[in-house]
Amino acid sequence: MEGRPERVQNITRQLRVVFRAIQSHSKTVERTCGLSSAKLWMMSELSVNPGLKVSELARALMIHASTCSNMLDQLEDKGLVRRDRSRADQRAVHLYLTDAGVKLLAKAPGPAQGTLSSAFGRLGDGHLLQLEDGLSALVDAMQVKDEKGGLVPIYGE
């Protein structure tokens, strides 16, 4: 392919821009509210969908349920989230923001779901398909061994 080294350099530069934008947003969120942007996204999901179960929240955030539960423990310790056991089924636990959580979320910088997810929402289906195909090929070429790595939020997501 003609110009391959330049194309590789350009892609590398663009990936750096993406990761730096994610890090920058995360630092802004942490300075403003004292939370990671992943936890802020979690709170935003609970604001829009009060009463979610841990498994439903994990699915919405695309993270492992145990990771979600650990993050919820931290938010609960800060008094931002509460867990209510269902009266109908004692095994079911529903999640809600506390008043303090609602106030913190109101003053937090946006987008709550992070810059990456927000940007994906603005891309057309064709671009998303190209990205998915290209990134799948990149992950395959990198011979990534940690297949569960996609279930843990990246710093600042």
Rounded to 10 deg, the angle between the 54-61 and 65-77 helix axes is 110
Prior bond of 111 cis (ω within 30°)? yes
For residue 47, the tally of other CB atoms under 10 A from its CB is: 15
Domains and CATH numbers, the chain: 4-119 (1.10.10.10)
Q: Which residues contact 52 (CB under 8 A, 6 or more apart)?
A: 45, 46, 60, 94, 95
Residue-wise pLDDT tens digits, 101-124: 999 999 888 776 677 778 888 999
How much is the average pLDDT of 66-73?
Answer: 93
Q: Of the candidates 61, 23, 63, 21, which has an alpha carbon nearest to the alpha carbon of residue 156?
A: 23
Residue-wise pLDDT tens digits, 3-34: 889 999 999 999 899 888 888 888 888 898 89
